[in-house]
């Protein structure tokens, strides 16, 4: 008899986006003339940088010709892209990361989800609340948690991100082995300073723990004093793996390209306490289970680092950041407390009521769709997330509607 992995039965059905869709559909049915503005999703809305498109086209043409055709590529990514990443994203900021420490992939979602395979079943895991759900669910699937009781999985250490700690969680009171951190954060948009991040690196070094640092939104950082990479912190290479993506930095959500950095010194231990380097374990996993990103996509990603590509990608980010600023300015005027928006495409707003109540009010009175914070964890209740991924016109219109409703 074929039996299932029963850990899957512990997973909480993710009602968040389907609940939102249902409520939006009901509103649309009852108000067919009302135009709805969606500021709920984390997907980008603008076209790829022209330099990336040009390189993409050229690479597709290469595939048509026997002389330049490419078959299976290196699973870790082509050297041209790994070099461009190492130089531009790390070495230029003083982080000593080499090309062969970079593993190109088709998504930070897959990588942040798959990485837990390298670790044993009985590790103690610290996960932020609110959280990007992939970190949580992949550990539930792997059987590293107990059941879901009173809004939380048993056996995990939750790192509360609240107004009291400015949405940067405190170090755990108990010993943990694996720590998930994400800055700029999804969903809160909060950022971490170098000094704060150093306390996590020091903790990991002291406890022989590992940090999984998700920097998918680093391109939105404006404040030059903030770290874009955990490797800007001394000692991090031994205790941290970093995830990056072209999804939000260059509009690749539908094109698919990301990467994970596993420094050569980064280690974990076997049950006898012997040290093992994670670079070789991840390399083994990547080569066994992943075929590499397609050649044209890697050429398109490489072009993001050309002079025109950099300027065009920056213009994309600047466009969304204007929206972020418009949302922040509206909240300042209305006197609503929020975090994020200044170095992030997300604005996390204290709605002063239940998340879903606030969501319904914005939908029904303003025709604006946001994301209820409660969908990201217990600490998200009372908050909503507004995303900057839309056109200037739509965001301006949404802010005018919100101003009318919230100042009434």
Specify the residue, 104 or 406, whose C-beta has the smaller distance to ligand PLP. 104
Mask 87-126, x = binds ligand PLP (CB under 6 A)? --------------------xxx--x--------------
Residue 182 interacting with ligand PLP (CB under 6 A): yes
Q: Distance between the two ends of the chain, CA-based, in angstroms? A: 63
Closest CB to ligand PLP among 109 and 237?
A: 109
Q: How far is the CB of 370 from ligand PLP (least distance, A)?
A: 16
Specify the residue, 258 or 278, whose C-beta has the smaller distance to ligand PLP: 258
User: In the complex with ligand PLP, which residue's Cβ is closer, 86 or 250?
Assistant: 250
> Which is nearer to ligand PLP, 367 or 373 (by Cβ)?
373
C-beta neighbour count of 159 within 10 angstroms: 21
Say whether 398 sits in a helix, a strand or coil: helix
The residue (of 245 and 371) whose beta carbon lies closer to ligand PLP is 245
The whole-angstrom separation of Cα 158 and Cα 148 is: 13
Query: Encoding tokens for residue 307?
Result: 């002079």
Q: State how far the Cα of 242 lies from the Cα of 264, in Å rounded to an integer.
A: 13
Q: Which whole-number Å values give the CA distances from 367 to 32, 219, 357, in the listed order?
A: 11, 30, 14
- Of the two residues 132 and 348, which places its CB atom closer to ligand PLP in the complex? 132
Dihedral (CA of 191, 194, 198, 201) sign: positive
Give the sheet arrangement for strand 258-261, strand by strand.
102-105, 258-261, 240-245, 210-214, 178-182, 125-129, 157-160
- To ligand PLP, the closest distance from the beta carbon of 132 in angstroms equals 4
The answer to the question of residue 84 lying near ligand PLP (CB under 6 A) is no
Q: Does 216 bind ligand PLP (CB under 6 A)?
A: yes
Q: Does 214 bind ligand PLP (CB under 6 A)?
A: yes
Q: How far is the CB of 346 from ligand PLP (least distance, A)?
A: 9
Q: How far is the CB of 349 from ligand PLP (least distance, A)?
A: 18
Considering beta carbons, is residue 187 or 367 the nearer one to ligand PLP?
Answer: 187
Question: For the window 239-278, what string marks contact with ligand PLP as x by the rule CB under 6 A?
Answer: ------x-x-----x----x--------------------
Q: How far is the CB of 110 from ligand PLP (least distance, A)?
A: 6
Closest CA to 265 of 280, 253, 252: 280
Give start and end residues of each alpha helix (H) in 107-193: 108-114, 133-141
Whose tokens are 């503005």? That residue is: 37
Closest to 130 in 3D by CA, of 185, 67, 79: 185
- 3-state class (DSSP) for residue 221: coil
Binding mask 32-51 for ligand PLP (x = CB under 6 A): ----------x---------
The residue with its CB nearest to ligand PLP is: 107
- For 100-121, b/e burial (b = at least 16 CB within 10 A) is bbbbbbbbbbbbbbbbbebbee
Which positions lie near ligand PLP, rule CB under 6 A? 42, 107-109, 112, 132, 182, 186, 214, 216, 245, 247, 253, 258
């Amino acid at each position: 008899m074929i039996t299932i992995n029963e850990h899957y039965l512990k997973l909480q059905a993710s009602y968040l986006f389907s609940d939102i869709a249902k409520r939006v559909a009901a509103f649309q049915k009852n108000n067919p003339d009302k135009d709805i503005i969606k500021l709920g999703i984390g997907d980008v809305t603008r076209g790829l940088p022209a330099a990336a498109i040009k390189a993409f086209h050229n690479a597709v043409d290469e595939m048509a010709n026997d002389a330049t055709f490419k078959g299976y590529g290196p699973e870790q990514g082509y050297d041209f892209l790994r070099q461009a990443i190492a130089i531009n994203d790390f070495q230029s900021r003083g982080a000593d990361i080499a090309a062969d420490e970079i593993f190109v992939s088709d998504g930070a979602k897959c990588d942040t989800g798959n990485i837990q395979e390298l670790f044993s079943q009985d590790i103690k895991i610290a996960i932020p609340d609110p959280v990007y759900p992939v970190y949580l669910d992949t550990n539930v699937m792997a059987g590293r948690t107990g059941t879901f009781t009173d809004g939380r999985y048993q056996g995990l250490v939750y790192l509360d991100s609240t107004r009291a700690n400015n949405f940067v969680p405190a170090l755990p009171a108990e010993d943990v082995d694996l720590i998930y951190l994400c800055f700029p954060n999804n969903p809160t948009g909060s950022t971490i300073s170098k000094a704060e991040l150093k306390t996590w690196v020091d903790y990991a070094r002291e406890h022989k723990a590992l940090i999984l640092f998700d920097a998918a939104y680093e391109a939105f950082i404006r404040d030059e004093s903030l770290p874009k990479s955990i490797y800007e912190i001394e000692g991090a290479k031994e205790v941290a793996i970093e995830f990056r993506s072209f999804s939000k930095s260059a509009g690749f959500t539908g094109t698919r390209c990301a990467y994970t950095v596993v420094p050569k010194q980064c280690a974990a231990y076997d049950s006898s306490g012997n040290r093992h380097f994670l670079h070789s374990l991840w390399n083994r996993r990547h080569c066994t289970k992943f075929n590499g990103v397609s050649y044209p996509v890697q050429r398109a990603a490489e072009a993001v680092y050309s002079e025109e590509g950099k300027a065009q990608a920056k213009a994309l980010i600047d466009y969304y950041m204007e929206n972020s600023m418009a949302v922040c300015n509206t909240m300042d005027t209305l006197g609503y407390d929020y975090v994020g928006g200044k170095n992030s495409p997300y604005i996390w707003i204290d709605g002063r009521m239940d998340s879903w109540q606030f969501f319904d009010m914005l939908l029904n009175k303003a025709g604006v769709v946001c994301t209820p914070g409660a969908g990201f964890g217990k600490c998200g209740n009372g908050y909503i997330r507004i995303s900057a991924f839309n056109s200037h016109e739509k965001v301006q219109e949404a802010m005018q509607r919100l101003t009318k409703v919230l100042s009434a």
